[in-house]
Amino acid sequence: MAANGAPAPPRKRRIGVMTSGGDSPGMNGAVRAVVRMSIHMGCESYAIYEGYEGLVQGGDLIKEMHWEDVRGYLSRGGTLIGTARCMAFMERWGRLKAAKNMVDRGIDALVICGGDGSLTGADKFRAEWPSLLKELVETGELTQAEVDPFQHLNIVGLVGSIDNDMSGTDATIGCYSSLERICSAVDDVFDTAASHQRGFVIEVMGRHCGWLALMASIATGSDFVFIPEKPPRVGWEDQMCDIIATHRKRGKRRSIVIIAEGAHDRELNKITANQVKDLLTQKLNLDTRVTVLGHTQRGGHACFYDRWLSTLQGVEAVKAVLDATPETPSPVITIRENKIERSNLMETVALTKSVSAAIAAKDFDKAMQLRDVEFKEYYNSYVITTSTDHPALRLPEERRMRIAIIHVGAPAGGMNPATRAAVAYCLTRGHTPIAIHNGFPGLQRHHDDKPVGSVRECRWIDVDPWVNEGGSEIGTNRGLPSSDMKKTAECFGLYKFDALFLIGGFEAFTAASELRKAREQYDVFKIPLVVLPATVSNNVPGTEYSLGSDTCLNTLIQFCDAIRQSASSSRRRVFVIETQGGRSGYLATMAGLSVGALAVYIPEEGINIHMIARDIEFLRENFKNDQGASRAGKIILRNERASTTYTTQVIADMIKEEARGRFESRAAVPGHYQQGGKPSPMDRIRALRMAIKCMQHIEDRFTGKSKDWIADDPLSTVVIGIQGSEVVFTSMGGPTGLEATGTDWGDRRPKNEFWLAMKETVDILSGRPKLTDCC
């Protein structure tokens, strides 16, 4: 009862958040999202500092968190609330103290971001919870009345680990940032290796899990990789030297071997970086050096993907806490391709442990099976692109095809790695890969059966260095087949293409559509036409992800971080930053989510005077509440086509005018800088996986088929894409195909933009009021 006799208001739920085990980039994003989402949902939020140590010790290590406390968290590396390995929590007496501290502070739900050890500890805590409370009452530490409101403990796990060693999720928070550190180091080593024609053996983290080593190998085009789940076969020494010698003979000037720190042979004898180095030196006479990357792999700010993942998973964790019933098993928040999901925490941990057990039992096939499907696919794709002269992998003569590759539209990170992967796959299988240089205009330029050199067969040695190159090495162009369909058809006939692989954005999609429709006049277009989306705008129908968008977002968040820091704490400044994206607000929204923008303007919503008035008012409030060090610049993101009237400069000027000296504003346009330099590791590895899937689609479905059969098959004109939790091919033609049902041709974007639902999350986490709340 309240003092006036009215019933006391219901107790607000208190949700604790902690980071535990090894730190990983993105943990801060998770803490920020949990704190703000908890507050948004009407709960109170508590941070448990120093992992389980804080829970056991209590006192100042358990602290209520307010909205402003997590300001600026997204761009910071490590974990700002600390982490530790806590021996006391392994013992019942430690967990008893932790339980008492939680009841004392009124916390009955915990979101834990850590590895499998931390999550095991959390589940054990939950299972013991009733007995811990009973013991606390029996020993007189707490009364029955004190423990009564806390009968059930909710636990939700978030997987924070750089190793990506948790089964049941495609990615853990931190693994892509770590991969980025590794790739950037290997890229640098490449340059010096090529200059001196040296060999390098690079050791990366991963005691039981080879994810970092494998993905770094794919992303940097290493010659050989050692991972714990798939030890090399007996006689690996010769196999490795043969592969490297073959690559050298073809003209490769640099040789790189990547080795996970937990690498071993099939008898579990450790394979060390020095051992590999000695082999290369002695057997191949190669001047070889060892580089151990060590803790640099953990450090630094989180990349775009880890900010995105940790934010969305943090939001989901709070929803899971509020949905939980006493019967619900503890969930862990996972991701499958592009879909955030909830899985059973203990089943996921058990699956993870079974991988280590399979390795310990030397059952490596089982270890690979227990890893995610995606991991196995990546491994097979890597092998098939590094063993291009393996006779057993070659197809019989009659099944080989002439596969043309073309880039269409603006350059995007990942175009080159995708081309390299497709070419390597073709060479391994015996197909003929043919590059069309400078897009359709390049193709259309030839005269009277006299090729002008824009159509060329690809050699492995030419494309191999493209593994980490940005832009488009074969040249890309926005021109479409329709600008000269007759000439396009003549060239298809002249070069006898059996399939066309188009890499590009909305123009590539449009080009494939035009060619498909022109099949009625030209038989030469009755071949498989496969589109791999590659555009920073991520606006191609049929996919939630395009190559290049990750590279662009990484570049954009670096720009935003740098520009925000430039505002010293004495200057109250708002930056209105203009993003690319055409008529799609994807880039602006995703960048907004990962830099914590105060407002995002997108073409899908447009801009009106009420929105600007609301946001100026919101800025005033925001600056008023801002104290001390957190007074860095604020960011507003505006897509380049969000409004023709309210341009980036106009919005910046309006803010300045209305702020009346209390704060100032600046417009900033990163422009083509957003297309990025080298493609991000995610764009590189997905380029490989998707390009190979495209080649396999062409090979498995269409070899030996007649032109009419191909033209009648809806899957002969397709877009490959990620949709939710799957990678799928979607037909473009026909009454249900993407052209008819999935494409907003006027605005050049998909009809259903999956990310629009995330726009609300950006607003929730920045605290931006709804228009109806204020105007």
Q: Are residues 583 and 753 in contact, defined by beta-carbon separation less than 8 angstroms?
A: no
Select 121 or 681, whichever has its Cβ closest to ligand ATP: 121
Least Cβ distance, residue 371 to ligand ATP (angstroms) = 16
How does strand 573-579 pair with strand 455-457?
A: unpaired
Instruction: Tell me the window of 111-119, 230-238, 673-681, 696-704 that interacts with ligand ATP (CB under 6 A).
Output: 111-119
**Would you state the torsion angle of the CA atoms of residues 733, 735, 739, 743, taken in this order, to the nearest 10 degrees?**
-160
Tell me the C-alpha distance between 38 and 699, whole Å.
51
Residue of 465, 445, 467 whose CA lies nearest to 455: 445
Least Cβ distance, residue 159 to ligand ATP (angstroms) = 9
Select 19 or 549, whichever has its Cβ closest to ligand ATP: 19
Phi/psi of residue 130, each to 5°?
-60, -40
Could you list the active site residues? Answer: 163
Least Cβ distance, residue 115 to ligand ATP (angstroms) = 2
Residue of 418, 423, 400 whose CA lies nearest to 408: 418
Residue type, 145: A
Tell me the C-alpha distance between 406 and 438, whole Å.
8
Instruction: Report DSSP state, residue 160.
Output: B
Instruction: Report DSSP state, residue 450.
Output: B
Select 73 or 125, whichever has its Cβ closest to ligand ATP: 125
Residues in contact with ligand ATP, total (CB under 6 A)? 17
Least Cβ distance, residue 292 to ligand ATP (angstroms) = 19
- Give the tokens for residue 395: 């197809």
Least Cβ distance, residue 94 to ligand ATP (angstroms) = 8
Residue of 693, 691, 662, 666 whose CA lies nearest to 679: 691
Least Cβ distance, residue 124 to ligand ATP (angstroms) = 5
Residue type, 31: V
- The three-class DSSP label of residue 660 is coil
Start-end of H helices in 570-608: 586-595
Tell me the C-alpha distance between 272 and 203, whole Å.
9
Select 156 or 719, whichever has its Cβ closest to ligand ATP: 156
Q: If you search the block for the tokens 């089982």, which residue do you land on?
A: 366
**Could you say whether residue 124 binds ligand ATP (CB under 6 A)?**
yes
Interface characters, 459-488, with ligand ATP (x: CB under 6 A): ------------------------------
Least Cβ distance, residue 357 to ligand ATP (angstroms) = 16
Select 116 or 699, whichever has its Cβ closest to ligand ATP: 116
Instruction: Tell me the window of 110-118, 218-226, 529-537, 578-586 that interacts with ligand ATP (CB under 6 A).
Output: 110-118
- The three-class DSSP label of residue 420 is helix
Least Cβ distance, residue 84 to ligand ATP (angstroms) = 7
**Could you say whether residue 78 binds ligand ATP (CB under 6 A)?**
no
How does strand 44-48 pair with strand 62-65?
A: antiparallel
**Could you say whether residue 206 binds ligand ATP (CB under 6 A)?**
no
**Could you say whether residue 129 binds ligand ATP (CB under 6 A)?**
no
Q: Are residues 381 and 727 in contact, defined by beta-carbon separation less than 8 angstroms?
A: no
Least Cβ distance, residue 51 to ligand ATP (angstroms) = 6
- The three-class DSSP label of residue 341 is strand
Instruction: Tell me the window of 112-120, 184-192, 552-560, 748-756 that interacts with ligand ATP (CB under 6 A).
Output: 112-120
Select 116 or 683, whichever has its Cβ closest to ligand ATP: 116
How does strand 432-436 pair with strand 402-408?
A: parallel
Burial class of residue 645 (count of CB atoms within 10 Å of its CB; 0-12, 13-18, 19+): exposed
Least Cβ distance, residue 102 to ligand ATP (angstroms) = 15
Q: Are residues 425 and 692 in contact, defined by beta-carbon separation less than 8 angstroms?
A: yes
The residues in 14-73 that bind ligand ATP, with binding defined as CB under 6 A, are: 20-22, 52
**Could you say whether residue 261 binds ligand ATP (CB under 6 A)?**
no
Least Cβ distance, residue 111 to ligand ATP (angstroms) = 14
Select 214 or 637, whichever has its Cβ closest to ligand ATP: 214
Least Cβ distance, residue 349 to ligand ATP (angstroms) = 9
List the one residue from 26, 77, 78, 115 that touches ligand ATP (CB under 6 A): 115
How does strand 717-723 pair with strand 726-731?
A: antiparallel
List the one residue from 44, 69, 108, 116 that touches ligand ATP (CB under 6 A): 116
Tell me the C-alpha distance between 687 and 693, whole Å.
10
Select 161 or 543, whichever has its Cβ closest to ligand ATP: 161
Tell me the C-alpha distance between 724 and 339, whole Å.
5
Select 80 or 611, whichever has its Cβ closest to ligand ATP: 80
Q: Please name every residue paired with 227 in a beta bridge, in sequence order, or none if there are none.
A: 230
- Give the tokens for residue 195: 């200059």
Q: Using the Cα atoms of residue 390, residue 396, residue 402 and residue 405 in order, give the sign of their dihedral.
A: negative
What's the Cα-to-Cα distance from 176 to each of 297, 339, 413, 611, rounded to whole Å? Answer: 10, 17, 16, 36
Select 89 or 525, whichever has its Cβ closest to ligand ATP: 89
Distance of CA 217 to the CA centre of its chain: 17
Select 119 or 320, whichever has its Cβ closest to ligand ATP: 119
**Could you say whether residue 117 binds ligand ATP (CB under 6 A)?**
yes
Select 89 or 729, whichever has its Cβ closest to ligand ATP: 89
Phi/psi of residue 426, each to 5°?
-60, -45
**Would you state the torsion angle of the CA atoms of residues 702, 705, 709, 711, taken in this order, to the nearest 10 degrees?**
50
- The three-class DSSP label of residue 198 is coil
List the one residue from 16, 26, 114, 210 that touches ligand ATP (CB under 6 A): 114
Q: Please name every residue paired with 260 in a beta bridge, in sequence order, or none if there are none.
A: 204
Interface characters, 80-109, with ligand ATP (x: CB under 6 A): -----xx--xx-------------------
Tell me the C-alpha distance between 222 and 214, whole Å.
9
With left for phi above 0 and alpha for psi between -120 and 50, is residue 389 left, alpha or beta? Answer: alpha
List the one residue from 28, 75, 118, 352 that touches ligand ATP (CB under 6 A): 118
Q: Give the nearest residue (CB) to ligand ATP.
A: 117
**Could you say whether residue 120 binds ligand ATP (CB under 6 A)?**
yes
Q: How many alpha carbons fall within 13 Å on the CB side of residue 442?
A: 19
Select 21 or 528, whichever has its Cβ closest to ligand ATP: 21
Residue type, 281: T
The residues in 153-172 that bind ligand ATP, with binding defined as CB under 6 A, are: 161
Least Cβ distance, residue 690 to ligand ATP (angstroms) = 29
Tell me the C-alpha distance between 497 and 424, whole Å.
18
Distance of CA 727 to the CA centre of its chain: 14
Q: If you search the block for the tokens 């006027």, which residue do you land on?
A: 746
The footprint of ligand ATP (CB under 6 A) covers: 20-22, 52, 85-86, 89-90, 114-118, 120-121, 124, 161
